[in-house]
Amino acid sequence: MKNKILIVDDEPNIVMSLEYAFKKQDFEVYIARDGSEALEILKHQTPNIVLLDIMMPNVDGYQTIQDIKNTVSLKGTKVVFLTAKNKASDIEKGLKLGADKYLTKPFSIKKIVSEILELLN
């Protein structure tokens, strides 16, 4: 069975790079530009993992992870923050909200893919 990933980010270049990399790894890839779009997708899809930015228009990553963690059908879904917010307090907040991993931008695509694959194994 294919791994499924939901990439939630409002930066088109980042989304394109990540989408390409994960499709090369044979993932089924879903894309959302903000938290509200992500939550709409999550009503119909249950990815193994959500790769989530924090700073986005409409619904930010903090609110999105809270909604994911409060949805019974998504209990097995892992959430990884991928964000430019890199202060210790940001990381602590992200992990307290239930992130399985907290990765910061700028990033190496290769590292992100390996971190995600490691988390799924």
C-alpha distance from residue 107 to each of 2, 39, 51, 93, 97 (Å): 25, 25, 13, 20, 22
pLDDT exceeds cutoff 90 at 16 = yes
> Is the overall model pTM greater than 0.75, yes or no?
yes
Tens-place pLDDT, residues 45-83: 999 999 999 999 999 999 999 999 999 999 899 999 999
Tens-place pLDDT, residues 102-118: 999 999 999 999 999 99
Q: Are the CB atoms for 104 and 75 separated by under 8 Å? A: no
pLDDT number for residue 104 = 94
Quote the number of domains for the chain.
Answer: 1
Domain of 29, in residue numbers: 4-120
Proportion of the chain above pLDDT 90, given as a percent? 96
